Structures are given as structure tokens and as C-alpha cells.
A and B are shown apart, each in its own frame.
Chain A
Amino acid sequence: QLQLQESGPGLVKPSETLSLTCTVSGGSISSSSYYWGWIRQPPGEGLEWIGSIYYRGSTYYNPSLKSRVTISVDTSKNQFSLKLSSVTAADTAVYYCARRRLNSTGWWYDYWGQGTLVTVSS
């Protein structure tokens, strides 16, 4: 059974960089069939797509976050990572990593991590 687990600091100071890692177990991140993505959810609010990465390194970012987001992959560790720079209180959210499936008419997320709360505060 595929499992994803987010890890990283739960508290980040304003203007600093948020860094999270997602460790994939029970399957290979190097599968040609999937992308891997990040989604976030501010407390009490809805879901926001952040971006996705393919194991070969190609990335897709939400245009509204693109200037601050970097997603990378480490196939040797079966992990992928998120960096979000210049954070503010508006970036406080539960951050989820997930596996993305796609076809010719779109994509969806079929496996999700449990999520990790990141609070931006001094």
C-alpha cells in the first residue's frame, strides 16, 4: 500500500523559507505513470493546488505562487520536497503531499499524506 509522509518544521518566521519533504513508501517515485504534488489548506478554508513534479524533474506550479515556489525530487531517497520563500501569515496552512494521476483530460490525486500544519509566526 502506497504511503506518503510529510515532514518539516511546524513553525516558520515571516519572510523566511518554508521547507517540507514528502517521503514515499510502498512504491517508487520513479514510476513513469505518476506525478507528485503539493496541496495546502489554510485553517478552516478550502484546498489550494501548489504544484507538481515528475521524477525526471519537470515541474508545474500554481501561477499565483510560482515566483516563490520550488519543488524538487530525490529519486535515491524516494522523496520530493517543497520550498516556499518569503512566507507571510497567509501561508499558514496544512500542507499535503499527494500522488497525481493524469490522462488526456486532466489530473487527480489518488493517494495523500496525512498533512502537516505549518504556522508562520515570529
Chain B
Amino acid sequence: QSILTQPPSVSGAPGQRVTISCTGSSSNIGAGYDVHWYQQLPGTAPKLLIYGNSNRPSGVPDRFSGSKSGTSASLAITGLQAEDEADYYCQSYDSSLSGGRGVFGGGTKLTVL
């Protein structure tokens, strides 16, 4: 079971807006650590989508946006396109174990209807 909780799946029609949640606790997101998001297209390596809660790397469309509040974070995708169908993972840092560790959510499969 992942330390960061994501819904297993979300779906939306082309052009719609979808959101993916990432819920943590007081030892990770709630402790002030940033949340980052990755997109993994089928059969490929993860790609950085959002870093530092809401920052987009160069080349990532502004249809993708991130936010964080309390012990949770969200990824929003507007103007949904067929090419957005992928797995999405959130990532943060957790201080609950000695030395701390990087932690990922369990992933959310986005289906474009």
C-alpha cells in the first residue's frame, strides 16, 4: 500500500477537465514537502509533468496544472486529448522513517473516452 493515495482510475471525454488527487499525511505533504507529478505513457519511462507543486517543465502544455493544500495535492488536466491517456503518479518526500525516503503514489490510470 502506497504512502501517497491516488484513485486507481479516472476518465473523461475529449475536451473535458479531469482532476487526479494525491492524499498524504503529516509526515510528507502535510509537513511542507513538495509534490511532483509524472506521466507514464504505455510502455515508456515516466516523464516529469509538474514539479514543486505547480511548476511545469519546459515543453509541458499549460493544460496541465498542479496544486497543493494541507495534506493533499491535485493534478488538473483541461481540454482533455486522446494522447493524455496514460498513468499518472504523484511523488513527494516522507520523513517518517530514519533518513527519510522518496515516495510515490500508487498511480492513476486516465482513460479518454
Q: Which residues of A contact B (CB under 8 A)?
A: 37, 39, 46-49, 52, 60-64, 66, 96, 101, 103, 105-110, 112-115
Contacts and interface: CB of A to CB of B under 8 A. Distances in A.
What size tier do the contact residues of chain B reach? 20 to 34
Given A46-B89, A49-B102, A108-B34, 12 more contacts: A37-B102, A47-B46, A47-B89, A61-B99, A63-B97, A63-B99, A101-B51, A105-B33, A106-B52, A108-B91, A112-B46, A113-B45
Contacts, number: 70
Which of B33, B57, B91, B101 has the most CB atoms of chain A within a 10 A radius of its CB? Answer: B101
Contact of A60 (B32, B36, B47, B99): B99
B104 A47 contact: yes
A63 to B, nearest CB: 4
Nearest to B4: A46
A-B pairs, 8 with minimum CB distance: A49-B102, A108-B36, A106-B34, A47-B104, A112-B45, A63-B97, A106-B93, A106-B33
Given A49-B104, A61-B99, A106 B36 contact: yes
Contacts of A37: 102
B48 interface: yes
Contact of A96 (B46, B48, B52, B106): B46
A62 B103 CA distance: 9
B68 to A, nearest CB: 10
Interface in B65-109: 89, 91-93, 97-107
Contacts of B48: 108-110
A112 B46 CA distance: 7
B52 A103 contact: yes
Name which of A39, A62, A108 has the most chain B CB atoms within 10 A of its CB.
A108
A103 B53 CA distance: 12
A46 B107 contact: yes
Given A47-B107, A113-B45, A108 B98 contact: no
